[in-house]
A = this chain, B = another copy of it.
Amino acid sequence: MPSLKAGKLAARTGLTVRTLHYYEERGLLTPERTAAGHRIYATADMVRLQQIVSLKQLGFPLEAIAAMLDDPDYALEPVLHQQLTAIDQQLAETTRLKQRLEGLLGQIQQGTALSVDDLLSTIQATTMYEKYYTPDQLAELQARADALGPDGMAKAQQDWQDLINEVRAELDQGTAADSDRMKPLVARWNALIRAFTGGNPAIAQSMKTMYEQEGPAAASQGMVDTEVIAFMQKALQAHA
């Protein structure tokens, strides 16, 4: 009769004894026991173990596997869809990460960036943008940046920084987003955005999506201060 103890089953499946114990802890697999407490895995247990392993290969957490195996009428389609969209998202993120890494490696091999600091300045400039702008749009942005030259870029950066500082000052003073005091700041903000987008509405739209979607996480990229962004979004709407 084909029934095995933990060590043998582990050897045959390529799992470890600890893993079998763990599955039992989680209620996934419940072999019989000898009088001395040794686990005895019968054929049915092996079949079930095989199912567990297969479902794990599909990326399901153990808890979900337990639910599936314990209910034979489990609705598979929704979980598969869910799993698939999660996978798609992960795939997209990983792909972007790969592109970033390749870009940085390229910079290093060209000698453009050598220290951690150099690297970080590159990251800030590129990370978030790649996500929301199409290649076309990125090319256009790059062209405009080139046209400005390093000095122009520095000035634009400074303009943004000054404006953000002033907005934060108002925020700290408790100024309301729809206050008249915000009017000139809103105007300057819009002007800077126009300069950035070059009047291209597609780019403006991408930028808007970026802030809406990304929220706090985006700001952490360039350290743009999430509070200021949220505040300005209200102000922009109030003075639309």
Chain B nearest CB from A48 CB (Å) reads 10
Interface of A is mostly: helix
A58 at interface, CB cutoff 8 A: yes
Interface string of A87-101 (1 = CB under 8 A from B): 110110011011011
A76–B69 alpha-carbon span in the complex (Å): 47
Identity of the chain B residue whose Cβ is nearest the Cβ of A223 in the assembled complex: B50
Q: Which of B72, B108, B113, B225 contacts A116 (CB under 8 A)?
A: B72
Q: Contact at A58–B13, with CB atoms within 8 Å? A: no
Chain B residues near A97 (CB-CB < 8 A)? 57-59, 87
Interface string of A14-26 (1 = CB under 8 A from B): 1100000000000
Q: Contact at A221–B77, with CB atoms within 8 Å? A: no
A115–B72 alpha-carbon span in the complex (Å): 6
A124 at interface, CB cutoff 8 A: yes
Identity of the chain B residue whose Cβ is nearest the Cβ of A56 in the assembled complex: B220
Chain B nearest CB from A240 CB (Å) reads 26
Q: Contact at B220–A15, with CB atoms within 8 Å? A: yes
Q: Contact at A54–B101, with CB atoms within 8 Å? A: no
Given A13-B226, A46-B223, A127-B54: A84 in contact with B68 (beta carbons within 8 A)? no
Interface string of A185-221 (1 = CB under 8 A from B): 0000000000000000000000000000001110111
Q: Contact at A94–B87, with CB atoms within 8 Å? A: yes
Q: Contact at A76–B14, with CB atoms within 8 Å? A: no
A-B pairs with beta carbons under 8 Å apart, 14 shown: A11-B227, A12-B225, A14-B216, A46-B223, A50-B120, A53-B221, A53-B223, A54-B221, A58-B100, A59-B97, A72-B117, A76-B116, A87-B98, A87-B101
